Amino acid sequence: GDGLAAGREIVQVDDNAPSSLRKVREEIEKTKLKEEILRDIRKNGMPEQYGRVRYSGLYHMSLAPSSRRRRAVSQDEGRGGGVGLASLLDLLEVGVISLNSNVTVQATDKDTLMFGGQIGQSMKQPSRGSNGSSSQGSLSVTMRREVSPVSTLELSAQCQLEPGTRSSFHSSVKSVRQLTKDDSASWEVACTSTPVGDESGVYDHELELEICSTRRLGEKTFGEFAWRFDPTRVESGMSLTFSKQAKMSASSFDIHAGKVMGFSGYSSRVVSLPLPGTRGEDGKKKRATFVGKASFKARTDALDLEVAASKKVPKTQLNLGWGAAISHRGLFWRLRANHLGQRFFIPICLTSSFTLPNICATFAVPPILAGLGRLAFSPLQKWYAAMQNESDAEESNKKLCEVFQIAASDCVLMVGPALRKRKASYNSGGLVIVQAIYGDVESFREEGNKQEEGGSREYRWLDVVIPLQFMCRNDKLVIHSGIRKHQLMGFCEPAAKDDEEDGHRLLVRYLYNSKFHECVVSDMGSLNLPYEGHAMQDGGDLEASLKARSEELEEETAEDLIKALIKKE
């Protein structure tokens, strides 16, 4: 009321204020946020989706040998001289810089808007006789609409901008349809309009057509056939793709036939290596976990082989990668970084000379430098941890207990509507959340899939049945990507493993049309229920326990559910 509003005006302190005042301000801001959420719920009902706006981008900067170095190399080769290993250490210059940024907005339940912009700048001097233009950019807008539960329609328009010339345009219409549980198909028609001459006002129009069919070949294996008709581009032709996605690995293999002939593919896997001279509290050697990837391209337009590794920086959302590649254009290092949808890619052309020392150095230097960097970083990390005055385990558990209690208090506000929705959906055969776990899903499975007292004793996972059931509307549940799920109402951040690489995950087991379904999504992944691909096949004991659990839920009251969420010390 007025007292709380007056309190907000009083506690308008800066960051230099005493810690007690800052804590009061933080608590008031949290209370204000909850008031706004509850006021909006009372007025408009529960929001249908979270994370309506998502940002993504790709930032690219290429490095290559300087023009002076290239001339020196050409002179040495002309005299019959070789290019030694020292040439890899010569100075490099920036070739091209490009920035690509996109915004995705969930406008309505069925409509998604995507806005994009791209700009590129060449750092090289334009050659004589050219128009002097060394930069270009583009603007794009895309609208995707869910026509039915099994089909979507996408409209896209793009404008290509370049100084000194007239703009070109690209528009397309794409439709995707889920034919069966395991089959989907899509078609796309596009038109590209490019100017003819500088001042004639005439445009040349070209039509493009693409037809694609995808089929699930196994539990985690997919096959895709695509046919593209484009008279002017090298992508015209047919392609056949086989891909497999597993928990710890992924792979893909492509076959191309058309203007471009050949093969391409990649294989990636989570690799865990023991660290010599280090042991954890359980006496076992500590292990370094990273993602290794090998990719190849053997086509008539390109030859390329790359070996790369990437690792997530602990306690951050930053992922760093370093790859070494040999291609028809030379030897490359490729640096990558990924942070909350923002991707950074820097290809570095080391040399165009394929000598044995150069090839060995290109592929051997990255792992050697990474190992030396870890040896140098480990003492600094220990020193930094000692200087942080970290709380002991008892205090950490106390803080976790507090956030779990806050999540339970949020569930108190949602349990009434959630029970009414669940009862109505159970009677009509709609979407019923039977089991939902957020946090360390593997720890939950190891404990025998027991859902008691709202979470594990070590606060590794949290029971989120009530929040998810509360978010259901018209027997649908949609949570968009790009937002960490502990920010949702009724959620909190459980304890994380020290070697956690993938962050928390969300396990959902639900009942729909008298069938049990199961799915697992990442912390920032999207969730769209129901989906036929989540159906459990021969669940056995697990399906029987879920059936018993669903019957128990129908008999439980709001008080029973809330008591189960509150952890007692």
- Lowest-pLDDT choice from 61-65, 206-210, 231-235, 526-530: 231-235
209: pLDDT strictly greater than 70 = yes
**Per-residue pLDDT reduced to its tens digit, 293-349:** 999 999 998 899 999 999 888 777 888 999 999 999 899 999 999 887 788 999 998
Specify the higher pLDDT residue, 138 or 72. Answer: 138
- Which pLDDT belongs to residue 2? 42
Identify the pLDDT of residue 536: 81
Token pair recorded at residue 58: 């790709």
pLDDT at 389 (0 to 100): 52
Give the Å distances, CA to CA, from 173 to 211, 234, 343, 543. Answer: 12, 21, 27, 43
419-462 confidence digits (pLDDT tens): 888 888 888 888 999 889 998 888 888 776 555 444 455 678 88
Distance in angstroms (rounded) separating the CA atoms of residues 230 and 208: 5
Q: Are 66 and 93 in contact (CB under 8 A)?
A: yes
Phi then psi for residue 16, to 5 deg, are -85, 0
Residue 8 pLDDT > 50, yes or no?
no
For residue 518, pLDDT beyond 60: yes
Q: Quick: pLDDT tens for 215-225.
A: 999 888 999 99
Report pLDDT digits (tens) over 254-289. 999 988 899 999 999 998 887 766 665 555 677 778
pLDDT of residue 191: 93
**Neighbouring C-beta atoms of residue 226, cutoff 10 Å:** 19
The per-residue pLDDT for 156 is 96
> From CA 504, how far away is CA 496, in angstroms rounded?
7
| pLDDT per position as a tens digit, 451-509 | 544 445 567 888 888 899 888 988 889 888 777 888 888 888 887 654 444 568 899 99
Confidence of residue 152 (pLDDT cuts 50, 70, 90): very high
Say which residue the tokens 């962050």 belong to.
503
- 3-class DSSP assignment, residue 284: coil
Return the higher-pLDDT residue of 360 and 75.
360
Residue type, 272: S
Q: How far is CA 384 from CA 197, 314, 380, 510, 567, in A?
A: 63, 14, 6, 44, 33
3-class secondary structure, 374: helix
Q: What is the CA radius of gyration of the chain?
A: 28
pLDDT of residue 312: 87
Span 524-539, average pLDDT: 81
> Which of 39-53, 216-230, 337-351, 359-373 has the weakest average pLDDT?
39-53
Instruction: Report residue 401 as tokens.
Output: 């207990």
205-to-9, 160, 351 alpha-carbon distances in Å: 62, 14, 40
The residues, ordered by sequence, that sit 6+ positions from 399 with a Cβ below 8 Å of its Cβ are 391
The pLDDT of residue 10: 39
Length, in residues, of the chain: 569
Q: Do the beta carbons of residue 292 and residue 269 sit within 8 Å?
A: yes
d(CA 59, CA 53): 20
Cα angle for residues 177, 179, 181 (degrees, 5° grid): 115
| Per-residue confidence (pLDDT) for residue 23, from 0 to 100 | 61
Query: Is it true that the peptide bond before 163 is cis, omega within 30 degrees of 0?
Result: no
Q: How confident is the model at residue 127 (pLDDT cuts 50, 70, 90)?
A: low
Q: What is the chain's mean pLDDT, rounded? A: 78
The pLDDT confidence band at residue 361, using thresholds 50, 70 and 90, is very high
Tokens of 168: 């070109």
Q: How confident is the model at residue 6 (pLDDT cuts 50, 70, 90)?
A: very low
User: Measured over all CA atoms, what is the biggest interatomic distance in the chain, rounded to whole angstroms?
Assistant: 89
Selected residue with higher pLDDT from 112 and 562: 112
Whether 568 has a pLDDT exceeding 80, the answer reads: no
The one-letter amino acid code at 505 reads R
Q: Report the C-alpha gap between 489 and 506 in whole angstroms.
A: 15
Tell me the per-residue pLDDT of 76-121, one tens digit each, with 9 for 90 and over: 555 544 444 444 445 567 778 888 888 888 888 788 999 999 888 8
